[in-house]
Amino acid sequence: MYIHQLKKWPQFTWDDNKIAPLLISARHKQGRVLGKMENLGFNLREEATLQSLTQDVVKSSEIEGEVLDADQVRSSIAKRLGIEIGGLTLSDRHVDGVVDMMLDATQHYEKPLNEERLFSWHSALFPTGRTGMQKIVVGNWRDNRKEDPMQVVSGPMGREKIHYQAPDSDLLAAEMARFIDWFNSPGDTDPVLKAGISHLWFVTIHPFDDGNGRIARAIADMQLARADKTSQRFYSMSAQIRLERNRYYDILEQTQKGTLDITGWLNWFLACYERALTHTDQTLGKEIRKAKFWENPQLLSINERQHILLNKLLDGFEGKLTSSKWAKIAKCSQDTAARDIQNLMERGIMIKEEGGGRSTSYALKEGF
């Protein structure tokens, strides 16, 4: 028996004594991250948002085994948000569709959720009306027969393992109406907690032929944006879930085959959320150091080649930076590369590392 078959479905319960400390800790971390972002300039906040949204789109699809071109995703997001980036990559309509869904969820998080909006997201995910070679119902609830139930399975044909079976399709209209009404109602549930519940509830109903996981994560991101009270995104829940994909599927399966006490699910969701924030906190530290670096007046008149290579050093250049590597990356002659490096050394920005001749390498001056 699955939780949607239980008599009191969907009256979820949880142990406040176990959940409250996790929620307080996660909210504290959230406040720190948002506070740090407020201290950054507009351009860096814009870049952080672009990075986070790109990760959300790429990693949410990757969880389902679908690999998207990250450059296409980044370009599609930048174009839609009006963010200036160099070298825009042409994106296909499938990438644009996934991006459109995520941006609608996070940039218009205050708008109510409804059937029309969910149908538009589903249509955007499947612009050809197919998943692989299979034709599916697009922009509407699934309509499978009782003798062909919606199941989540794995394993070779003939020996499939059934992980989950969703409600029959004739129940979907009522199930989704109840879910949407709850999602839009203010209530007194903390928005971060509500993000975890909405994720579980939606993916348990499994209302579409395909794309339920990605839409469930978009709905959770929409609720997290409400918790942040901003459309700017500074962390990626989907990127963290991708790192924990096996545990994610395990805890979902356990919860959907368990009782309506979802303490275990919320425990994992809140801990995963805090880990996503911690990762972002570390990333932000690098971005803040980079911001302070570029505020130095010594850097006002550097050329584009120097700007590119200094950024690479700030991001953690792998190996030793030599003049020949500089020339290759900056697409210039070795003489030009040597002049660029010499100029930065004279400004006190770079230093020559130990070693000479062909092995001469250069690094940022400590403390600059």
Token match 């940039």: residue?
107
Per-residue confidence (pLDDT) for residue 281, from 0 to 100: 81
Q: What is the pTM of this model?
A: 0.84
Greater confidence (118 vs 159) lies with 118
* Residue 73 scores a pLDDT above 70: yes
Per-residue confidence (pLDDT) for residue 355, from 0 to 100: 67
pLDDT band at 156 (very low <50, low <70, confident <90, very high): confident
Residues shown for the chain: 368
Greater confidence (44 vs 183) lies with 183
Q: What is the DSSP letter of 4?
A: G
Per-residue confidence (pLDDT) for residue 293, from 0 to 100: 86
* Residue 333 scores a pLDDT above 70: yes
* Residue 30 scores a pLDDT above 90: yes
Q: What is the mean pLDDT of residues 282-304?
A: 82
The answer to which of 44-53, 173-182, 282-291 has the lowest mean pLDDT is: 282-291
Domains in the chain: boundaries = 3-291, 297-364
* Residue 246 scores a pLDDT above 90: yes
Per-residue confidence (pLDDT) for residue 68, from 0 to 100: 96
Per-residue confidence (pLDDT) for residue 288, from 0 to 100: 72
pLDDT band at 24 (very low <50, low <70, confident <90, very high): very high
Architecture of domain 3-291 in CATH?
A: Orthogonal Bundle (1.10)
* Residue 95 scores a pLDDT above 90: yes
Per-residue confidence (pLDDT) for residue 356, from 0 to 100: 58
Q: What share of the chain is helix, strand, coil (3-state, %, to 5)?
A: 60, 5, 35
* Residue 72 scores a pLDDT above 80: yes
Q: What is the mean pLDDT of residues 263-272?
A: 98
Q: What is the mean pLDDT of residues 266-292?
A: 87
Per-residue confidence (pLDDT) for residue 357, from 0 to 100: 58
pLDDT band at 155 (very low <50, low <70, confident <90, very high): confident
What Å distances lie between residue 308 and 229, 296, 301, 320, CA to CA?
34, 16, 14, 16
Q: What is the average pLDDT score of the chain?
A: 93
- Identify the CATH number of the domain defined by range 297-364: 1.10.10.10
* Residue 87 scores a pLDDT above 80: no
Q: What is the mean pLDDT of residues 241-252?
A: 97
* Residue 206 scores a pLDDT above 90: yes
* Residue 131 scores a pLDDT above 70: yes
